[in-house]
């Protein structure tokens, strides 16, 4: 028990998570890129055209994963915000802060691709449909937490305030999910979740799932990079960090802004 | 409450604002009676929402400036109870008067009389939700920079209330039962009532300590 506790404690400290995040990064980024490449090729070239929508449907290979990720990133942000609020683990705050802009980007991507698809399909860039509207609300929720964080100078207070706001906004995420059933709308009901009788042919479904997994891994890869940057910023005066870079400056210099600055100074001389 | 009695002009501002915003819709959209009856419920809801938003800055700001809020945090009594009382008082001096003048606004839009009870019921359930959600965010942004931040944070959270609130009235307008919308609104009200005073208390502690 105490071993698990100690391990957990280590994992939640910035000092120990910094190298872990660095080690995990290639495990996320390489499969992510491979999957995105294979999924895009399968989805955009190999999969057959839809008998109703022609080639336009192919945007779902980007649209649907982006929409999923927009919600998952929000959950990551909200849960980490809540952890910071309750247990005051600094790392959770860094994770929450890092997840917000990535999630906002995915939300924007989902909205933009959906609108690009809507123009030829529905004949309009935008309709006031429940899921579209909820996704737009989600974007505003992201922007709200980012803005609130930016408006409070004290780092600790900003983190707790954004955490509470994210928690309140999290109530909105299930509403997005169930809004399809709640309101009668134009939007297609979810095509993928019906596993008992999938309405998608495997030649389309498999690339979509691969793309979704690739997007997820890509999200975690970017999250790791941002977490490392966040740790560097927060712990920039700490002793372990300077010790870490004093030990092996040539291997790690490329990862840190400070390392780059040092390298630049050297080259100037 | 006492302050509201002493300075009636200050307390009436949200109600007057509510009426004026309601009046702006016909001015902007023309006075066609059929159009007005059609947009009426939605316009009244938007006006109510903005009036609640406008009234939020009076919740804690002056209490913060004169130090009363710091005292409040020190009282050996659960903070959420004190906050609950504060919010109830605020609703009685803003939400309740808004309900009272709603028939005037409804009449000016030429709404069917059958819609009025539903509109009032929806507003009675909805304005506390608007106030409570707003109070959380007002408490969060109390000591932060930036004036428009509050609206950015609050308005997305107002979406469900607005949808169900005006949906109830439109259901009657189109000859359906408003029961579903009103129950969802009531559920929303119960959940917020249960959890918002605690969230406001937490937010105040974050902002002030």
Chain A residues within an 8 Å CB radius of B145: 151-153
Decide if B155 and A140 are in contact by the 8 Å CB cutoff. Answer: yes
| Chain B residues 112-141 within an 8 A CB cutoff of chain A | 133, 136-137, 140-141
Smallest Cβ distance to B152: which of A137, A147, A183? A147
Q: Please check whether residue A165 touches B, CB under 8 A.
A: yes
**Number of domains forming the structure of chain B:** 1
Decide if B140 and A164 are in contact by the 8 Å CB cutoff. Answer: yes
What is the pTM (predicted TM-score) of this model? 0.81
Residue A194 confidence (pLDDT): 44
Check whether A253 has a pLDDT greater than 50.
no
**Chain A: residue nearest B184 by CA?**
A182
Alpha helix (H) residue ranges in chain B = 2-6, 8-29, 33-55, 57-65, 68-74, 79-108, 115-140, 149-157, 159-173, 179-208
Q: Please check whether residue B147 touches A, CB under 8 A.
A: no
With CA atoms as reference, report the closest residue to A97 among A138, A156, A139: A156
Residue B63 confidence (pLDDT): 82
* d(CA B53, nearest CA chain A) in Å: 16
| Chain A residues 128-157 within an 8 A CB cutoff of chain B | 133-134, 137, 140-141, 143-144, 147-148, 151-153, 157
Residues B128-150, mean pLDDT to the nearest whole number: 87
Check whether A181 has a pLDDT greater than 70.
no
Residues A71-98, mean pLDDT to the nearest whole number: 90
Which pair of structure tokens corresponds to residue A74?
């929000």
**Chain A: residue nearest B209 by CA?**
A157
Decide if A168 and B156 are in contact by the 8 Å CB cutoff. Answer: no
Residue A219 confidence (pLDDT): 93
* d(CA A68, nearest CA chain B) in Å: 20
| Whole-number percent of chain B with pLDDT over 90 | 29
Chain A residues within an 8 Å CB radius of B160: 172, 175
More confident residue, A1 or B123: B123
Q: In this predicted model, what pLDDT tens digit does every residue of B145-185 receive, in sequence order?
A: 766 888 888 888 888 888 888 888 888 888 778 888 888 88
More confident residue, A92 or A265: A92
In three-state secondary structure terms, A15 is helix
Q: Which residues form the domain of B153?
A: 2-208
Name, of A45-49, A69-73, A88-92, B107-111, the range with top average pLDDT: A69-73
Smallest Cβ distance to B156: which of A141, A148, A153? A141
Decide if A144 and B160 are in contact by the 8 Å CB cutoff. Answer: no
Residues A250-261, mean pLDDT to the nearest whole number: 48
Check whether A248 has a pLDDT greater than 70.
no
| Whole-number percent of chain A with pLDDT over 90 | 22
Q: Among the listed ranges A24-38, A111-125, A155-169, which one has the minimum average pLDDT value?
A: A111-125
Decide if B153 and A165 are in contact by the 8 Å CB cutoff. Answer: yes
Confidence of residue B119 (pLDDT cuts 50, 70, 90): very high
Mean pLDDT value across chain A: 78
Instruction: Give, in order, the Cα–Cα distances in Å from A158 to each of A53, A164, A165, A229, B144.
Output: 47, 10, 11, 18, 9
Residue A262 confidence (pLDDT): 46
Check whether B108 has a pLDDT greater than 50.
yes
- Crossing angle of helices A155-170 and A60-87, in 10° steps, is 120
Q: Please check whether residue A104 touches B, CB under 8 A.
A: no
Q: Give me the phi and psi of A128, to 5 degrees please.
A: -85, 70
Contact yes or no for B43/B109 (Cβ under 8 A): yes
Residue A23 confidence (pLDDT): 86
Smallest Cβ distance to B145: which of A141, A151, A172? A151
More confident residue, A135 or A217: A217
- Sort residue A49 into left (φ over 0), alpha (ψ -120 to 50) or beta: beta
Residues A112-124, mean pLDDT to the nearest whole number: 82
Q: What CATH number should be reported for the domain whose range is A39-247?
A: 1.20.120
Residue A260 confidence (pLDDT): 47
What is the value of ipTM here, to two decimals? 0.83
Chain A residues within an 8 Å CB radius of B163: 183
Residues B91-118, mean pLDDT to the nearest whole number: 90
Which pair of structure tokens corresponds to residue B181?
């919308």
Q: Among the listed ranges A84-88, A112-116, A236-240, which one has the minimum average pLDDT value?
A: A236-240
Which pair of structure tokens corresponds to residue A41?
């090729």
Check whether B3 has a pLDDT greater than 70.
no
Total beta-carbon pairs less than 8 A apart between chain A and chain B = 61
Mean pLDDT value across chain B: 86
Residue A267 confidence (pLDDT): 45
Contact yes or no for A111/A132 (Cβ under 8 A): yes
Residue A259 DSSP one-character state:
H
Residue A125 DSSP one-character state:
S
């Amino acid at each position: 028990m105490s071993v698990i506790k100690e391990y957990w404690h280590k994992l939640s400290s910035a000092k120990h998570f910094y190298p872990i995040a660095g080690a995990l990064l290639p495990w996320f980024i390489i499969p992510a890129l491979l999957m995105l490449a294979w999924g895009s090729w399968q989805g955009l070239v190999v999969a057959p055209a839809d008998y109703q929508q022609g080639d336009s449907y192919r945007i779902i290979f980007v649209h649907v994963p982006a929409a999923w990720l927009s919600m998952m990133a929000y959950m990551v942000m909200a849960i980490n915000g809540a952890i910071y609020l309750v247990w005051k683990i600094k790392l959770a705050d860094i994770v929450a802060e890092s997840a917000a802009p990535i999630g906002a980007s995915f939300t924007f991507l989902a909205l933009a691709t959906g609108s690009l698809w809507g123009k030829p399909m529905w004949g309009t860039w935008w309709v006031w449909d429940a899921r579209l509207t909820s996704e737009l609300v989600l974007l505003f929720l992201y922007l709200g937490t980012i803005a609130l964080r930016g408006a409070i100078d004290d780092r600790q207070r900003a983190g707790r305030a954004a955490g509470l706001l994210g928690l309140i906004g999290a109530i909105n995420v299930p509403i997005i999910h169930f809004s399809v059933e709640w309101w009668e709308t134009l939007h297609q009901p979810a095509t993928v979740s019906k596993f008992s009788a999938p309405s998608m042919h495997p030649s389309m479904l498999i690339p979509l799932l691969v793309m979704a997994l690739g997007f997820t891994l890509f999200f975690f890869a970017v999250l790791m990079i941002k977490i490392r940057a966040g740790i560097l910023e927060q712990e920039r005066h700490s002793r372990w960090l300077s010790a870490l870079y004093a030990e092996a400056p040539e291997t790690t210099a490329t990862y840190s802004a400070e390392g780059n600055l040092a390298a630049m100074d050297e080259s100037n001389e | 409450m006492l302050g509201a009695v002493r300075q009636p002009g200050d307390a009436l501002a949200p109600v007057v604002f509510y009426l004026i915003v309601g009046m702006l819709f016909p001015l902007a959209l023309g006075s066609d009676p059929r159009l007005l009856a059609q947009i009426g419920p939605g316009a009244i809801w938007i006006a109510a929402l903005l009036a609640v938003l406008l009234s939020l800055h009076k919740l804690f700001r002056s209490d913060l400036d004169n130090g009363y809020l710091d005292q409040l945090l020190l009282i050996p009594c659960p903070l959420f109870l004190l906050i609950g009382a504060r919010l109830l008082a605020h609703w009685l001096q803003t939400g309740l008067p808004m309900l009272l003048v709603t028939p005037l606004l409804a009449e000016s839009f030429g709404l069917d009389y059958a819609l009025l009870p539903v509109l009032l019921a929806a507003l009675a359930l909805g304005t506390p939700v608007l106030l409570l959600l707003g109070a959380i965010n007002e408490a969060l942004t109390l000591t932060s920079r930036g004036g428009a931040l509050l609206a950015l944070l609050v308005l997305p959270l107002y979406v469900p209330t607005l949808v169900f609130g005006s949906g109830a009235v439109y259901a009657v307008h189109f000859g359906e039962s408003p029961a579903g919308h009103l129950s969802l609104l009531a559920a929303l009200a119960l959940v917020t009532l249960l959890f918002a005073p605690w969230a406001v208390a937490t937010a105040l502690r974050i902002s002030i300590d």
